[in-house]
Structure 1
């Protein structure tokens, strides 16, 4: 009996449980992309944000992410120039990780580029820029009072 408990205790520390946390690439929201959007883009592109309330000059990709941020889109999966996968993680933040995607990621696919040069996730082109200290995070939903609706412009 002591041996069985020792084996169970050892197995609980074994890295097998990390395999269960692996998130597949390509998990998409149930909604289809908006009309005029495609899930594969020719070549690479950069992104920036545009607050929907202001409709002023968009923030450039370098302003948005403090450096050139080059992306590509293939079959709804968004990757940066380092091969990291664009995803919506457990706190609804849009970020790039991996590969593999961050454990607990909600969506790892379902992205599309629309005719109006906006980035969509599922059926929506609306994102939320949320101030966090002296920078902003981007979310797929409104998570706090300081968030403003925005488009991600490609």
Structure 2
């Protein structure tokens, strides 16, 4: 089972080497590209995913503007889970699913006002949707993703 910890600068070297399968690159961002923006945003928390001592992934939890940009109206009870990346060399072992279950506890600790997590997954990304659904997320609504096509917004209570 992975361990989730707030991002630390010591994780940058490992997160800079994360590799994604080509079919996933259109649906997420590389951690090293997100870290500067996330660290500068007081409404966001970067979370590193560890497998033992190895840093193998990353995602972001956000409230405020980074949360509300995905919704038709602001949702003060929600926390957006953004940009999950698990190194492709570590995929297929259940780390992503387990991390998405554990993300609820991290959200409760860092955003005590929150009642639920939500995330956006592209309708073409059936693999990711399957991972999220195994972790207890259910479809909340569908949104038009513009140039990216239809997207599902999935939610999980805390």
TM over 0.5: no
Higher RCO (C-alpha under 8 Å, 6+ residues apart): 1
- Normalised by the length of structure 2, the TM-score is 0.28
- Normalised by the length of structure 1, the TM-score is 0.28
| Larger helix proportion of the pair | 2
